[in-house]
Amino acid sequence: MPSSQAPPAGHTASDPTAVRPDIADARIMRIRPAEVLDTMRALKREGFSMLLDIGGVDYLGREPDRFDVVYHLLKLPLTPATPEQVGAPERVRVLCSVPESDPTVPTVVALWPAADWAEREIYDLYGITFTGHPDMRRIQMPDDWEGHPLRKDYPLRGPARERTPRPSFALKSNVAAGTPASGKTAAALQRQIAQSRGRNEFHGAPDPAEAAQQAKHPGGTRTGGDAQPKELAERPVNLNQQQDGKQ
Amino acid sequence: MSAGTSVAPEGMLAMDVVERSDNRMVLSMGPQHPSTHGVLQIMTEIEGETVTKASPEIGYLHTGIEKSAENLFWSQASTVIERMDYLSPLTNALCYYLAVEKLLGIDTQIPRRAQQIRVLMSELSRVASHCVWLGTGGIDLGALTGFFYAFDIRERVLDLYEMSGGARMHPNYIRIGGVAQDLPAGFLGQLDHFLKTYDERMHDLRALLQKNPILQDRMIDVGIIECEDAVAWGITGAALRATGIAYDVRKAYPYSGYEQYQFDVPTRTEGDAYARFLVRLDEMDESVRIIRQVRKHLDEPGAWQIPDTKFAPPPKETIALSMEALIHHFKLVSESFRVPPGDVYQAVEGPRGELGYYVVSNGDNRPWRVRTRPPSMYNLQILKKIALGELIADMVVMIGSLDPVFGEVDR
């Protein structure tokens, strides 16, 4: 096993599936969307009677197959059985790679009715369409929602909130690491810091009242709160420096 | 408006169909109906009082927990994950951490006492969760008294949560490599008191509900699930065992040392709402049986967390004295630990069935993907089938007997 503190290496960064033979949690198969129906029929004949779950994963940047649709199957008896008869039923995990250019997978609703909501959820959250599904609608998000929230390029706070300017304070902290601080909290924190430094200017998101005041007194000290994350590297870390630089 | 048409656009819910030519009527049940146990909407088509079509609409409580978890450190993600199944938060946290521990390769190093405490907590969760089902399920049928008895038991469990983790609903007590702290002073006394009073209270509850002719009338032969349907629809937990298939993750794939404890898997073969009711009642007794066995081991002290401070925070008292400890603590808090690449599916037996987590790591300090296998969602889905031909009044019984939790269905 590699050191747990070591950064990921090579292809595992974009495809970490089936790289850990030490975790023998299930038999793992990888297939293409065209093989889904045949594979699933064969597995069902083999006795995998229960479709436990279908999940989606977005490996953004993996070429050419950006998405994975993951089927978890379980071999259960179809008649009453004691715990001894059930034993430790076999598990199989089927990973289906789905290309971004054609995100469609045939449905397995005909084999397992349990797939109905699971497939709708993947359609809703990842935008992968299941062909032949009787009712391919959104399930979790409102019907008129735009975008597919669990895609990695979908902003965490949603597109609407992502467009609102971020306080510069929030941008500095750990956006690069992936955690955007909530606007309100960051603004409050920054106000606190500014106060403790004996200044009353505020580097936060534009507050309407404040914006009005800014308009009256142009050339104020407020720095832009709507900087893009790519500017992060150039941003000075120290609040004082940053302020001086902008002036 | 002409018969059978709607004003809603294609693909949208037709909320305002009021007149049909075939004597059928569409009735929207929920999402604010108290008996839907949360925010479930069921578009039911009824003819007289008979349901001819039922399509549950979920998603009213969608909070994007899986998305949030991808953007938190491995150790922080459990705070949102606990909020999925809010009636048994510790089972969720346990399942997630078991998966993460497998990815880290430390799943064999968890100390005995930590495992015992984990088993204790998940069984207490089961009792508390079943108490909510029992109490609210009784209310659905007009049995108001049972609610107070059931919630009395649940309160005792929540007191124990509060002592151990500091919060009654989401204690976040289970952590990577063990639990957050040892059982506090006075906990075992409280636990003994709970165990002492449990039998009597359960006896009262059973006397109130189990043989109650009104409840029996409402539940027997209502919402029957056949074996084959249960398997095909992905039903797990008490609903599956009420059809006769004794699949219990604790027996099939023991985790946290469940193989050491003696317990039975209660089953029935009728598959109706009353069978599910009885299975759950028996499960509560089996849970308490496990808790009694765990209790015997809890007197001897022991480690409750792995000693590896790369993953588990070093003891507080060492932080001021040891540079190493301070560094580890700082690293854990500021950037957390990295998890080697890999994917894993881990299942535990939650109060509602097989709760699973499919966790993918790409080697970063945040999970790449945390997919929950929500047992309530799959259990609820079969409502589309079992409601057909039943009375609209029995819909309430069926929802109650499937015991969905909407934090988990919608996530």
**Displacement of CA B22 from its chain's centroid (Å):** 41
pLDDT confidence of residue A221: 41
pTM (two decimals): 0.81
pLDDT confidence of residue A54: 93
- The total number of residues shown for chain B amounts to 411
Averaged pLDDT for residues A6-35 = 70
Decide if pLDDT at B237 tops 60.
Answer: yes
Q: Do A76 and B245 touch (CB under 8 A)?
A: yes
| Residue B139 half-sphere exposure toward CB, CA atoms < 13 A | 14
Averaged pLDDT for residues A7-23 = 60
The residue ranges of every structural domain in chain A are 10-131, 159-246
pLDDT confidence of residue B70: 87
pLDDT confidence of residue B25: 83
Q: Does B332 reside within a domain?
A: yes
Q: Does B347 reside within a domain?
A: yes
pLDDT confidence of residue A4: 40
Query: Which residues of chain A lie closer than 8 angstroms to B410, CB-CB?
Result: 140
pLDDT confidence of residue B39: 84
Q: Do A140 and B265 touch (CB under 8 A)?
A: no
**Percentages helix, strand, coil for chain A, rounded to the nearest 5?**
35, 15, 50
Q: Which residue blocks in B45-111 are alpha helix, DSSP H?
A: 65-70, 77-81, 89-104
A208's CB contacts (< 8 A; 6+ apart) are: none
Q: What is the count of structural domains for chain B? A: 1
Q: CB distance from B388 to chain A under 8 Å?
A: no
| A interface test, pick of B231, B267, B328 with most A CB neighbours within 10 Å | B231
List the single residue in B228, B267, B345 with the smallest CB-CB distance to A72.
Answer: B345
Q: How confident is the model at residue B128 (pLDDT cuts 50, 70, 90)?
A: very high
Q: Do B62 and A23 touch (CB under 8 A)?
A: no
B74-105 b/e (C-beta count within 10 Å ≥ 16 → b): bbbbbebbbbbbbbbbbbbbbbbbbbbbbbbb
Query: Which residues of chain A lie closer than 8 angstroms to B227, CB-CB?
Result: 78-80
The answer for B 250-269 residues in CB contact with A (under 8 A) is 251-253, 265, 267, 269
pLDDT confidence of residue A162: 66
Q: What kind and span of H or E run contains A92?
A: strand A91-98
pLDDT confidence of residue B115: 92
Q: What kind and span of H or E run contains A243?
A: helix A239-246
Q: Which DSSP state fits B13?
A: -
pLDDT confidence of residue A190: 55
- Residue B15's closest CA among B41, B53, B51? B41
pLDDT confidence of residue A198: 52
Do B60 and B80 meet the contact criterion of CB atoms below 8 Å apart? Answer: no
pLDDT confidence of residue A213: 52
pLDDT digits 0-9 by tens, B350-360: 999 999 999 99
Do B305 and B109 meet the contact criterion of CB atoms below 8 Å apart? Answer: no
The answer for B 267-326 residues in CB contact with A (under 8 A) is 267, 269, 310-311
Averaged pLDDT for residues A165-192 = 51
pLDDT digits 0-9 by tens, A61-83: 777 788 889 999 999 998 888 88
Averaged pLDDT for residues B197-214 = 88
pLDDT digits 0-9 by tens, B263-296: 999 999 988 999 999 999 999 999 999 999 999 9
The residue range of the domain holding B313 is 65-383
The answer for A 24-63 residues in CB contact with B (under 8 A) is 25-26, 49-53, 55-59
List the single residue in B234, B345, B371 with the smallest CB-CB distance to A25.
Answer: B345
Decide if pLDDT at B245 tops 60.
Answer: yes
Q: How confident is the model at residue A171 (pLDDT cuts 50, 70, 90)?
A: low
Gap from A195 CA to chain B (nearest CA, Å): 25
Query: Which residues of chain A lie closer than 8 angstroms to B342, CB-CB?
Result: 16, 19-20, 23
Gap from A198 CA to chain B (nearest CA, Å): 28
Averaged pLDDT for residues B88-92 = 91
DSSP string, A146-171: -S-TTSTTS-TT-HHHHHSPPPHHHH
Q: Is A26 exposed, middle or buried (CB count within 10 Å of its CB: 0-12, 13-18, 19+)?
A: middle
What percent of chain B is predicted at pLDDT more than 70?
94
Gap from B6 CA to chain A (nearest CA, Å): 16
CATH number of the domain to which B193 belongs: 1.10.645.10
Do B58 and B377 meet the contact criterion of CB atoms below 8 Å apart? Answer: yes
Task: Reduce the DSSP state of residue B405 to 3 states and report it.
Answer: coil
The segment with the largest mean pLDDT, out of A141-155, A208-222, B147-161, B331-345, is: B147-161
B20-29, B246-255, B315-324 — which is least confidently predicted? B20-29
pLDDT confidence of residue B166: 87
Question: Rounded CA gap, B67 and B368, in Å?
Answer: 10
Could you tell me whether strands B353-361 and B369-373 are parallel, antiparallel, or unpaired per DSSP bridges?
antiparallel
pLDDT confidence of residue B31: 79
Tokens 């057909």, located at residue: B388
Q: Do A91 and B345 touch (CB under 8 A)?
A: yes
What are B3's two structure tokens? 């018969």
Count of CB atoms situated within 10 Å of the CB of B11: 10
Please tell me the CATH superfamily of domain A10-131, with its number: NADH:ubiquinone oxidoreductase Nqo5 subunit (3.30.460.80)
Name the average pLDDT for chain A.
Answer: 71
Q: Do A156 and B71 touch (CB under 8 A)?
A: yes
